Amino acid sequence: MSLKIAEQATGSSHGPRRWWSSITFRLTLLYVLSAAGILTVCCVLVYWMLARNVDDLAGQFLEDEVHDIRAALRELPNNPQGMDAEISMEGMYPNYYARVMDGQGREFEATPHMGEVVEGFQFPHPVKVTEPPRQFVKTRARDGRWYLLTSAWGQVGHAGDTQMVLQVALDVSKEERLVQNFGRRLAGVVLLGLGLSAAAGVVVAGMGMRPLAKITAATQRIGPTQLHERIGSTHWPQELTALAEAFDGMLDRLEDSFARLSQFSADMAHELRTPINNLMGEAEVSLSKPRTTEEYQHVLASSLEECGRLSHLIDSMLFLARAENAETELKRSALDVRREIEVVREFYDVVAEEQGVEVACTGEGQLNADPLLFRQALANLLSNALQYTPRGGKVRISVAPPNGGWMDIDVTDTGAGIDPEHLPRIFDRFYRADRSRSQYPQGLGLGLAIVKSILALHGGTVAIKSAPGAGTTVVLKFPNNAS
């Protein structure tokens, strides 16, 4: 059984580590993804702008040419040579081609090779005479060269309805190659950037995570024997300061709990040792030689008393352990606080009378609490108060009117009081302020611890005020939940 648990525990802490769950990996991945995104968007934008710019320049050139040929056409009736001059001048450009055709598609004038170059090209529909050519078509010739094409109507002469079609083509292969080369280089840049950002991401994430590794190493150094060590003294980055402080706070509480636990175990062993020692000793001595019946009876009765002590110790310890693990089920009911107090007071009446201590109750109230536990808490307090209050003293149990969601029940005595040094530990198990009176046969030093547990179970708190010679007041603070 225990082996199984151990295995499970090991399994959970050292199980297969999934590499994708590593923060470094995730940070790097996010870093690379965002860098890739940004880089790609920028490069695409630059590429697009360049391509657009190149096309615009070529388009502008074609538009200017169309403008010039239209002008020559308008002057054609007056200056038939102007047209020839214009076209042949255009023919000087090595990668520019133009032709002029009449409405039936017969060639009127053309730059050299125009016919061969534009063979099979689909020119856009010619725009009207009055419109500038804005429609360009980029097309690829069979020889792999790129051409930008446009077409427009031109007016022959300044008046009349004779129009001719102009077709112009520009070989943009060089520009196209430039843009494509640029695009390829940009892609290379993006890939290189990705690689670099991945490398940078690993380094940056690693650097970012380094304090975490350091704080882990610092916490790993602390075992049960080094609980006094703290990690908050190191200068941590701002984000980890809170963690370090929280961890130190946890260590404080752990150290305190460990100290209490070991003190508690020691006290427990001591408490067990005394009755068991008595049992063993008495039995051994009485068996060492024959004795009278009365002697045997005495020993047996004494053993019974010791057993009663052990049994009571076990009951109290179990109660505290269960209360701590919230295993105790509260059987709440609506309580008339004053009535419950009177029941407990009545129980202690004879003792108070014997000791010459006056017990008074004041105040009224309603509370939703477990009646058994409520009585037990009160009984423990009253029993303590009576025990430490001398003849002629007074014990007062007062119920304060509900105040801000809380109901206070004070148990005040006029007894000897408690030294301030004992107060912080007075609710600890087995803690007895007055060691010299610890011989009080029934006192285990668990009474106040039980009171504290009972209040905790009810969601309340318990406080103590005391000074030597000035008596003691214990305040039970219950959440005021009666409705």
Partner 1 sequence: MRILVVEDEPKTAAYLRNGLSEGGYVVDCAVDGEEGLHLAQTSAYDLVILDVMLPRRDGWSVIAELRRTGKQTPVLFLTARDQVHDRVKGLELGADDYLVKPFAFSELLARMHSVLRRGSSRPVETLKLADLEIDFPRRKVTRAGKRVDLTAKEFDLLSLLARRAGEILSRTIIAEQVWDMNFDSNTNVVDVAVRRLRQKIDEPFAKKLVHTVRGVGYVLEDR
Task: Enumerate binding residues for partner 1 (CB under 8 A).
Answer: 297-298, 300-305, 307-308, 310-312, 314-316, 318, 327-329, 343-344, 346-351, 354, 372, 375-376, 379, 383, 442
Phi and psi angles of residue 358, each rounded to the nearest 5 degrees, phi first: -90, 130
User: Residue 133 or 447: which CB sits closer to partner 1?
Assistant: 447
User: Residue 35 or 344: which CB sits closer to partner 1?
Assistant: 344
Q: What tokens does 367 get?
A: 């509370």
User: Residue 259 or 318: which CB sits closer to partner 1?
Assistant: 318
Are 384 and 452 in contact, with CB atoms under 8 Å apart?
Answer: no
User: Residue 116 or 327: which CB sits closer to partner 1?
Assistant: 327
Q: How far is the CB of 310 from partner 1 (least distance, A)?
A: 8
Strand partners, 100: 109, 166
Q: How far is the CB of 346 from partner 1 (least distance, A)?
A: 7
User: Residue 31 or 348: which CB sits closer to partner 1?
Assistant: 348
What CA–CA distance (Å, rounded) separates 48 from 43?
8
Helix spans in 75-119 (H): 80-90, 114-117
The crossing angle, in degrees rounded to 10, of helices 23-74 and 80-90 is 150
Residue written as token pair 């693990």:
325
The CA-to-CA distance between both ends of the chain, in Å, stands at 48
Q: How far is the CB of 464 from partner 1 (least distance, A)?
A: 20
Q: How far is the CB of 382 from partner 1 (least distance, A)?
A: 9
User: Residue 447 or 471: which CB sits closer to partner 1?
Assistant: 447
User: Residue 376 or 473: which CB sits closer to partner 1?
Assistant: 376
Residue written as token pair 């477990």:
370
Angle (CA) 240 243 247, round 5°: 140
Q: How far is the CB of 202 from partner 1 (least distance, A)?
A: 55
Q: How far is the CB of 1 from partner 1 (least distance, A)?
A: 16
Q: How far is the CB of 347 from partner 1 (least distance, A)?
A: 4
Q: What tokens does 423 get?
A: 């107060």
What CA–CA distance (Å, rounded) separates 408 from 401?
8
Cα dihedral 7, 12, 15, 21, rounded to 10, equals 180
Are 193 and 40 in contact, with CB atoms under 8 Å apart?
Answer: no
Handedness of CA 252, 253, 258, 260 (dihedral sign): positive
User: Residue 60 or 274: which CB sits closer to partner 1?
Assistant: 274
Q: How far is the CB of 329 from partner 1 (least distance, A)?
A: 5
Residue written as token pair 């970012």:
208
